[in-house]
Structure 1
Amino acid sequence: MTNERVMQLIREAYEKNLTTLDLSENQLTQLPSEITELKNLTTLNLSGNQLTQLPSEIGELKSLTSFDLSVNQLTQLPPEIGELKNLTILNVYRNQLIQLLPEITELKNLTTLDLSLNKLTQLPPEIGELNNLKTLYSSSNQLTQLPLEITKLKNLTELYLSSNLMIRLPLEITELKNLTTLNVYRNQLIQLPSKITELKNLKKLDLSRNQLAQLPPEIAELKNLTTLDLSRNQLAQLPPEIAELKNLTTLDLFENPLISLPPEIVSQGVKAIFTYLKQSKTTENNEAKLIVVGDGKVGKTCLAYRLINDEFLEDVQITEGINISKWEIPAPYSENRKIKLNIWDFGGQEIYHSTHQFFLTNRSVYLLVWNARITKDYTNIYYWLHTLEAFGEDSPIILVMSKMNESDDDLNLKDLKSKFLQIAGYVKIDSKDGKGISNLKEIICETVWNLPLMRVKWVDSWYEVRNELEGIGDNLILYDEFCEICRSRGLDAENIDILDGYLHDLGIILHFKDRIGLKNIVILKPEWATGAFYKILSAKSVLHNEGVLLQNELDRIWDKETYPSAVHSQLMELMNKFELAYELPDKKRYLIPELLPKNEPDYDWDDEENLYFYYSYDSFLPSGIITRTHA
């Protein structure tokens, strides 16, 4: 749109006596003087232009109530802006303002003022004279403090101060009794004044991206809070009193070094967090997963056995799926504390890789085992590192070169660490004579002990339930039985629901309450379920049948004592949940994507009437994605 078009719009507004004029996004570098003839104009939008200044004649638009100057290049507002006595909304968002002139205080009817994304280093004391101001945006400036006069804004309900340079909030801010929204996102706050509790009407408080190390217990007095954003701070714990905020519906704790609140509880939301905080906690639970991964025949099972028993395993069977074993080690720098490690030894055969991702969790330490004699080009090391990065998030990885007596080699560790920051160490070992094992144990111990949630205390009653479940010899129980165990420990329905989700997320049990076919059973031994998966994936009859599993084959594939017919439907539902199997329409067969033929079938394809689709992946592709897409 040209300036000629702008003049046409101004003439049209004058001839029709319009009260609203939109001149936004017109590349205007100056405002035509003719605009001052629009005496009845109440709304003027000049946003998204290239204005560096406003003419002094702007003060002649006495009827203006809404003035939008956002996204321009104004370095200051003219003194005549103060003549626009009827303005209720003034938007100067994203300009180059370095100061506000005192004349702005003449705008007594202003209810909304947006000064965000400018270069203001301070707000003038005169701003306190804007008695009717309800909303003040001053985000993304360079403010280090607020003028004391801001406390005069008794009608202020919303105050936005995000992305500034404030180290602390002034105590005087608590005099703004009508505030309902306070946004101090991305500043440098190191503490929150306890007097903030005087803001009794506060509903939304955003303190994210600061440097808060603690919250005052008095925060519980903000009874009307519905949203509290504490993400990306330095909070190690929350005051128990926060659970008294009955109206809180959103509590964001993302990226805090919390040591008193498990992420599995945080992920369940406010209700679960508050329930957890209210419980008695005296039992320290120093427990983690030690997950051993790598290609087949690199010595993973021998390594796991040597770590636990300090002996060499002579007769090694190929690991089909996952072997889970327990290992207890003393905590570093402590004579009394113990660390419980659940070692998950994953089968390395490629056929099993697609299922591994469902059990790779971010509360783990990973041992990535390789053998120089087998993996000369290191391609598979990168494959595993990418896989762990995708599914294990920031969990530390210890690289282990096995069978060093047979073939010794080195990795470019500096290069690997630059690409995968979670690499915590590199050790060469030989499980046969134990060489390097003591060094590996030390690194494992140090790495595990430094996991974020070590030394966290469990809820007493939850710990008792967990121990009772571990003492049950069965592979699964009914959900009603699980609830009865919980109730016997004094848990109500709310606690049962939260504990159920917590134990599931930790991998202690498997309970998929969102699936009709699975919600009535609780699997106590995850390896029992995964064992069933791998027997299907290893079945030659299914492979020969091009990935089609017949319903009547299950009795032959699965051992009847371990997998009785009564649980077949649940196990197949579980495979369907993990996209490892799909029930076909006849209800008598299943398609197993991982066992589909590797060669593309011949289709009678009409090139003129149909389209070809090609899938291109620019980054790392985890195992199994293609087969599931194919299915």
Structure 2
Amino acid sequence: MIAEVTCIWDFAGPPIYYITHPNSLKSDAVYLIEFNLMENMQGKKRKCKISRMAKETMTNEMTIIQIIKYRMELIFTYAVQAEQQQLKTKKPKIVVVGTHFKGTSDEKEQAAEQFRILFQEIKSTPYESYVVRKMYLIDNESSSGSKFQEKLEQDICGFLNAMPNTIPLTWFNLQRLLQEMGEKEMHVDYDEVCKVATQCGILKENLKHTLNYLHDLGIVMYFQDNRQLRDTVVLNPRKVSNITEELITAVKTDDEMVS
């Protein structure tokens, strides 16, 4: 039996959240970086508060194009492994999408110019080869998105199909059991996971490979190289994300909400 599983993660956009992104950046993935076509790529993003109770605001001094490049650099740093760089593989894929596209010829020309500027900016960078050199435009208010959306969906499926992972059935069984445990407990000791893995027929010496794979999928969180965390397996990453959201929350400033 072959099962295809695709996990979708929505990364928070404001810069204050960037520190939370590296743990979720993996090589077997397609990353979509979106920007608003109605905004100037050389213009700076709006300021925001870190919580609804905060009096001070954060001002982002980066332009939109700088933010896009920074996100590409993050993906390259944390998702492209050293051996991949040596083998010159093309994983992961980075796709840039322009939003708020209405479909007029003038908008298409303006969008083409913005993409041209962006692709010129990343020329000769270490991550250039991972960026898909195509223009994707989405109409946020249309149910069909735009004629570009169908091509975007087709290309994403093609990218994902080109990077399949075949795993033993024992790994899939462990995944199912850990997800069931995650409905009741957010994390458990590594030794507890060892017991469950043994029941699934996974040898203890192979368990770390299984957990690293499930970590890459976002099913669990396991940090093998962290002395403080390597004896703990997080079974419900979604709860961790929710807790982080409670601690770090970007909201519009008062003047923006009035306007």
More strand by share: 1
Residue 135 of structure 2: aligned partner: 426
Q: What displacement does 1:518 show?
A: 3.6
The RMSD of aligned alpha carbons is 2.9
Alpha-carbon separation, structure 1, partners of 2:214 and 2:150: 32
Q: 1:365-514 alignment to 2 at 5 Å?
A: 365-377=30-42, 378-393=65-80, 394-405=91-102, 408=107, 409-410=110-111, 411-412=115-116, 415=120, 418-419=123-124, 420-424=128-132, 425-433=134-142, 434-436=144-146, 437-451=149-163, 454=164, 456-472=165-181, 473-474=183-184, 475-512=186-223
| 1:565-618 Cα distance to aligned partner (Å, 9 max, x none) | xxxxxxxxxxxxxxxxxxxxxxxxxxxxxxxxxxxxxxxxxxxxxxxxxxxxxx
| 1:264-308 Cα distance to aligned partner (Å, 9 max, x none) | xxxxxxxxxxxxxxxxxxx5464xxxxxxxxxxxxxxxxxxxxxx
Higher relative contact order (CA 8 A, sep 6+): 2
For the 8 Å contact 1:285–1:458, the answer to whether it is kept is: no
Structure with bigger gyration radius: 1
Q: What displacement does 1:342 show?
A: 0.9
Alpha-carbon separation, structure 2, partners of 1:485 and 1:423: 40
For normalisation by structure 2, the TM-score amounts to 0.66
Alpha-carbon separation, structure 2, partners of 1:373 and 1:382: 19
Q: What displacement does 1:442 show?
A: 0.9
Residue 28 of structure 2: aligned partner: 363
Residue 10 of structure 2: aligned partner: 345
Q: Aligned to 2:156, what secondary structure does the other structure show?
A: helix
Residue 138 of structure 1: aligned partner: none
Deviates more, 1:352-361 or 1:515-524: 515-524
Q: What displacement does 1:514 show?
A: 5.5
Q: What displacement does 1:431 show?
A: 2.9
Q: 1:264-279 alignment to 2 at 5 Å?
A: none
Give yes or no for the alignment of 1:535 onto 2:240: no
Alpha-carbon separation, structure 1, partners of 2:103 and 2:71: 23
Q: 1:503 to 1:496 in 2, by over 3 A?
A: same
Q: What displacement does 1:385 show?
A: 2.6
| 1:94-139 Cα distance to aligned partner (Å, 9 max, x none) | xxxxxxxxxxxxxxxxxxxxxxxxxxxxxxxxxxxxxxxxxxxxxx
Q: 1:146-165 alignment to 2 at 5 Å?
A: none
Q: 1:384 to 1:518 in 2, by over 3 A?
A: closer
Q: What displacement does 1:414 show?
A: 5.4
Q: 1:460 to 1:351 in 2, by over 3 A?
A: same
| 1:399-434 Cα distance to aligned partner (Å, 9 max, x none) | 111111299332106535744121223210113212
Alpha-carbon separation, structure 1, partners of 2:193 and 2:250: 33
Q: What displacement does 1:441 show?
A: 0.8
| 1:169-188 Cα distance to aligned partner (Å, 9 max, x none) | xxxxxxxxxxxxxxxxxxxx
For the 8 Å contact 1:417–1:423, the answer to whether it is kept is: no
Q: Aligned to 1:522, what secondary structure does the other structure show?
A: strand
Q: Aligned to 1:369, what secondary structure does the other structure show?
A: strand
Alpha-carbon separation, structure 2, partners of 1:430 and 1:539: 25
Alpha-carbon separation, structure 2, partners of 1:343 and 1:506: 9
Q: What displacement does 1:506 show?
A: 4.3
Alpha-carbon separation, structure 1, partners of 2:18 and 2:103: 26
Q: What displacement does 1:510 show?
A: 1.4
| 1:53-112 Cα distance to aligned partner (Å, 9 max, x none) | xxxxxxxxxxxxxxxxxxxxxxxxxxxxxxxxxxxxxxxxxxxxxxxxxxxxxxxxxxxx
Q: What displacement does 1:517 show?
A: 5.0
Alpha-carbon separation, structure 1, partners of 2:2 and 2:8: 20
Q: 1:512 to 1:390 in 2, by over 3 A?
A: closer
Q: Paired residues, what number? A: 202
Residue 54 of structure 2: aligned partner: none
Q: 1:388 to 1:375 in 2, by over 3 A?
A: farther
Q: Which ranges in structure 2 are unaligned for 5 or more consecutive residues?
A: 43-64, 81-90, 252-259
More helix by share: 2
Q: 1:72-91 alignment to 2 at 5 Å?
A: none
Q: Which ranges in structure 1 are unaligned for 5 or more consecutive residues?
A: 1-282, 287-339, 541-631
For the 8 Å contact 2:222–2:234, the answer to whether it is kept is: yes
